Structure 1
């Protein structure tokens, strides 16, 4: 074995020991998430319109990889204006604050449960988008290290090439042809509260000098929270994470919890925690697939064919849960049934929702303070998710519209974050289980 190979071997062993020490000392972590539109002073329907537009781009990406307060909406069992605004396509809906390097540089990154790679823009830029914070300069950080081409994380990249032993160049693409490319490196990341952040050394990330995509400029990069080895949850080695998303029109931040802090016991009340298995798709290993078996509207289980939500052997179809998509998208055969059920059961006149970007809308009666709508339940294998009305219908008295935040898709179905509001959702990667319980997220 030559001297260069010996040096590489011992460096790899040293980094492995550092990684083990990091994982043994870190047991739990809390990070606050900010909605991308929270500081925009938008009305409720402006927020909805912007989220719907971003979601339409987001679902295209994922499937190609396969002010005004409204009326109160009350859910019951069966029987019982156009806005001009600059909207980016969007890679996600929530930002997390972090810092990188020594000395540290603070920035915000888009949280993405649909991908793995952590990356930020780096100097010297070949092609970089405008971002809210300064671009990271690795040349002035004492803790920046390029990762070796022989390492497991370099091999975990979907596309990489090596110009030298410590020069793992990557290309990471997303379904809409947006991409980042640069060098895979390691750095010290600071995560958690501004008052007392937690320093985590040796986090592998993409130092991108060529980054192309319309939706990236909401932050300075992406933090992947998928199921692969490059994602933040995998690198932290804590085995589980949870989040609790506050309501769309609230400015309060949403908690993201890792490890020992990702505990649903604090959210338990009169409603029991429910759990369902997480499914895997070898063709899309980053996604979190769920066993959705059916949908109930107003107490009636819809006649949806079993094939509508099935994960096919070729990797197509199935149902994922995604924090970066606001609208829920259902495969066409299922969506037709849901649309028909709401049009039949909501006793209001149908209205045009194209200005909002939604398909099923109704006209609110003049002066209405409340309306009665059918309950919506997602029937999973092992659990039923009974959604509160505000998680699938949004009413706005200023426009006079009541709109269903569900749309149709082809093949892949996506449970969006509107439907996840005020649910504490736990992803247990070791047990491969997803658990949830209704929670007032702004109080968690």
Structure 2
């Protein structure tokens, strides 16, 4: 992967219309959304930002303020840190319970609001559903009728009674026994409950039905949660599809058909579309690093981040700093979090490089403290930034992965520091933009290919 020393980019005003110009996208009129043309041994879905003009969830009015989005992002990061710290604690949940501490049923991570969505079909006949996709979650779920307490969503609730292939999962089934939190109804049907880190929650019946990925591509007997009580920060999405490493996730359930792995590309703009692909070959230009496994948090995908480059030169930070707590790659976290020492070195190097261009500094934006005012400039020049992974893979970031542009007068370095060097680092979705991110679970490696989407 060629690493340039700088980016020179033309500033553009945010687009209010969705851009779909690639011939690789095929319309699916009966479901009302688009799917990406895929190889015969794979299935690919259209990925859009849920607050952008391409989103089926787009509502009237303006998206949430940037500061609000970033504050919610910080809440997600805190919940990831809490979940990992709790899992690593030598005191068991059972012991905590014995001391009278009330624990959430299944400690998921905070959902945040910077997530991406895909559209799938569920049931027979297939009902179109728009769901958040999340590599930090395992169980997929949608809101179902009858619902005793559901949040407002754009589409009608999924009605199991109208699907000829729907069935409840018995309590004795392995899928039920594998859940962190489960119970049985009087008729011995499996019940699930998930409480996320921001106190959003979903609970209902564990079920099976046909999941439709493309008009000709289905997964019969897909196990998911049929939510009957759902509250929290889900926006207007119909539910969530989990891509974590546990057996109940979509990627795990689809492994027998497509192989153990998946890939996606997040677009550079909320006005464009990317893709989520189950199976299929990796891009020829993908650079791979080992996928690390932690026994205490098996759902997360860890990568060996060992360094950062600015303008083609390695920032002086020992790899030991990055290795202290490790790094999780997460589709739902917006801004990459680095150990404090690593972030300070990156910020200093980046600011010195930007100082040579003479740009005016701008106020901080929530968690982002290194911002610039590009007012009056039609083009801007910024130093390149690349992430270096164990094994030598150096991944150059797109312009959109280096700066978080709230407005022309406030464009900020899209990285932030963890509060403690012992907190796990997180590779967020801003830095993943335009890269083909390949999760080769079968071979325990993660790859990054340049120019995966625009």
> Shorter-normalised TM-score: what interval?
0.7 to 0.9
Deviations 1:184-205 (A, max 9, x none): 111111112xxx2523210000
- Give, in whole Å, the separation in 1 of the partners of 2:433 and 2:189: 42
SS in 1 for 2:206: strand
Q: Post-superposition shift, 1:151?
A: 1.9
1:432 maps onto 2:444 in alignment = yes
Q: Post-superposition shift, 1:136?
A: 1.4
- Give, in whole Å, the separation in 2 of the partners of 1:159 and 1:307: 37
Match of 2:122 among 82, 85, 100: 100
- Give, in whole Å, the separation in 2 of the partners of 1:165 and 1:287: 34
1:408 maps onto 2:417 in alignment = yes
| TM-score normalised by structure 1 residue count | 0.78
Aligned counterpart, 1:90: 112
| Contact persistence 2:111–2:198 (CA under 8 A) | no
- Give, in whole Å, the separation in 1 of the partners of 2:73 and 2:306: 24
Match of 2:364 among 353, 366, 373: 353
Match of 1:211 among 212, 226, 230: 230
Higher deviation after alignment, 156-165 or 106-115: 156-165
Deviations 1:365-388 (A, max 9, x none): x53233433221211102111223
| TM-score normalised by structure 2 residue count | 0.76
1:257 maps onto 2:269 in alignment = no
| Contact persistence 1:113–1:322 (CA under 8 A) | yes
1:31 maps onto 2:39 in alignment = no
Aligned counterpart, 1:375: 384
1:200 maps onto 2:215 in alignment = no
SS in 2 for 1:177: coil
Aligned counterpart, 1:74: none
SS in 2 for 1:34: strand
- Give, in whole Å, the separation in 2 of the partners of 1:218 and 1:408: 31
- Structure 2, unaligned stretches of length 5 or more? 1-39, 85-109
Aligned counterpart, 1:120: 142
Higher deviation after alignment, 368-377 or 154-163: 368-377
Cα 1:41–1:144 change in 2 (3 A) is closer
| Contact persistence 1:63–1:175 (CA under 8 A) | no
* Number of positions where the alignment pairs a residue of Structure 1 with one of Structure 2: 376
Q: Post-superposition shift, 1:48?
A: 5.4
Cα 1:45–1:125 change in 2 (3 A) is closer
Aligned counterpart, 1:333: 341
- Give, in whole Å, the separation in 2 of the partners of 1:395 and 1:154: 44
Cα 1:41–1:386 change in 2 (3 A) is farther
Q: Post-superposition shift, 1:240?
A: 1.6
Q: What pairs with 1:215-230 in structure 2 (closer than 5 Å)?
A: 216-230=234-248
SS in 1 for 2:388: strand
- Structure 1, unaligned stretches of length 5 or more? 1-25, 67-87, 312-316
Cα 1:44–1:380 change in 2 (3 A) is farther
Q: What pairs with 1:31-430 in structure 2 (closer than 5 Å)?
A: 31-39=45-53, 51-66=69-84, 90=112, 93-164=115-186, 166-192=188-214, 196-214=215-233, 216-237=234-255, 238=258, 239-249=260-270, 251-259=271-279, 261=280, 263-265=281-283, 268=284, 272-310=285-323, 317-347=325-355, 348-354=359-365, 358-364=368-374, 367-382=376-391, 383-394=393-404, 399-410=408-419, 411-430=423-442
Deviations 1:12-53 (A, max 9, x none): xxxxxxxxxxxxxx9321111121122259999988556534
Q: Post-superposition shift, 1:291?
A: 0.3
Cα 1:334–1:185 change in 2 (3 A) is same
- Give, in whole Å, the separation in 2 of the partners of 1:94 and 1:160: 28
Aligned counterpart, 1:17: none
Q: Post-superposition shift, 1:357?
A: 5.3
Cα 1:390–1:47 change in 2 (3 A) is farther
| Contact persistence 1:277–1:290 (CA under 8 A) | yes
- Give, in whole Å, the separation in 2 of the partners of 1:247 and 1:133: 27
Higher deviation after alignment, 56-65 or 113-122: 56-65
